[in-house]
Amino acid sequence: MTLAVAIVGCGYFAQFHRDAWARLPGARVVGVCDSDPAKAEAAAAALGTRSFTDAAAMLNATRPDVMDMVTPPSTRAGLLALAAERNIAVIAQKPLADDLAGAEALVAQAKAAKVPLLVHENFRFMPWFQEARRVIESGRLGDVLNLSFRFRPGDGQGPDAYLSRQPYFQTMPRFLVHEVFVHFFDTFRFLLGEISGLVARTKRHNPVIAGEDAATITVDFASGATGVLDGNRLLDHPSDDPRMTGGTLLMEGTRATLRLDGFGRLFLRPHRGEEQEHAYAWEKRGFGGDAVFRTIQHLAAHLTEGAPTDHTGEKYLRNVALVEVAYVSAREGRFVTV
């Protein structure tokens, strides 16, 4: 595999993208771009590559195979147009746009230009979710009837909430469901298949932010299973790094139950039996147990080898649609069939 990569955006999360691309065999970062020249220069120096403050200039100078957009949704249509003019594949952060209509427009834009548009969706690539999927496929849980995740990062209290890391969180009119639960919709679908409907309630506890910081969503799976997403950013959970797993998972099957704790450990309890730790290999590195590296590895394999992926822009619209349905449900106070 050989892949020349240009990265646009040098904000907080871009550090994980740069690290992943630098470690991926066969990939080469040919340029980084940010409107802040100091950020661009520092990122480029760390990678030994070129820095730019103008994306078009970077694409013209470096001619990459793929442009990785680690930028706010408002920038993406313009950046996608620049890449499409030059026949460059694009990777975009989730959830593509501020709403479903914007995401659909981006997908249509890429389709019309005949350039690949992939979504950097990394939660399903966290090692505990990957292992949970393997346990399900092994049959050890039997028929999984219930799946729940309690999201408790504990970073949302007080007037300084989010300011040190991602200050724009405070001004987002749609926050928890749009920014975080889109990850879990994808992960839930990865684990148990398609979601057929849901009911949602949202709340705002911290008055300094614009959007919701707590939500409870109950989903129906097409398989007949039930899922619960219970999130509150003001509350935490036992962990030495509450943002690593973000919270705790419980999957209950007819043969056994699987539990994830805040330290990345998994525990299996046979039906009517005693719980024991389920050992598996993973590395505490980067974000979410090195989930960004595995995501980029997966997307690169799709671009270079045609490996299958659920994270084309078109396929990812299902997750964005579930976000929209959740807000409809919360606003109207009813169960909504998808």
Domain with CATH 3.30.360.10 in the chain: 124-279
Task: Note the pLDDT of residue 17.
Answer: 98
Compute how many other C-beta atoms are within 10 angstroms of the C-beta atom of residue 148: 17
pLDDT digits (tens, 9 = 90+) for 146-158: 999 999 999 999 9
Task: Note the pLDDT of residue 4.
Answer: 98
For the domain spanning 124-279, the CATH number is: 3.30.360.10
Task: Note the pLDDT of residue 158.
Answer: 97
Task: Note the pLDDT of residue 87.
Answer: 97
pLDDT digits (tens, 9 = 90+) for 237-286: 999 999 999 999 999 999 999 999 999 999 999 999 999 999 999 999 99
Residue 128 pLDDT > 90, yes or no? yes
Name the residue among 223, 222, 224 with its Cα closest to residue 196. 222
Question: Which range among 74-78, 186-190, 213-217, 312-316 shows the weakest confidence by mean pLDDT?
Answer: 74-78
Task: Note the pLDDT of residue 205.
Answer: 98
Residue type, 291: A
* Concatenated DSSP letters of 93-154: ETTSSSSHHHHHHHHHHHHHHT--EEEE--GGGSHHHHHHHHHHHHTTT-SEEEEEEEE---
Residue 1 pLDDT > 90, yes or no? no
pLDDT digits (tens, 9 = 90+) for 26-57: 999 999 999 999 999 999 999 999 999 999 99
Domain 3-121+294-310 - what CATH class?
alpha beta
pLDDT digits (tens, 9 = 90+) for 74-107: 899 999 999 999 999 999 999 999 999 999 999 9
Domain with CATH 3.40.50.720 in the chain: 3-121+294-310
The DSSP element (H or E) to which 55 belongs, if any, is: helix 55-62
C-alpha–C-alpha distance, residues 135 and 84, integer Å: 41
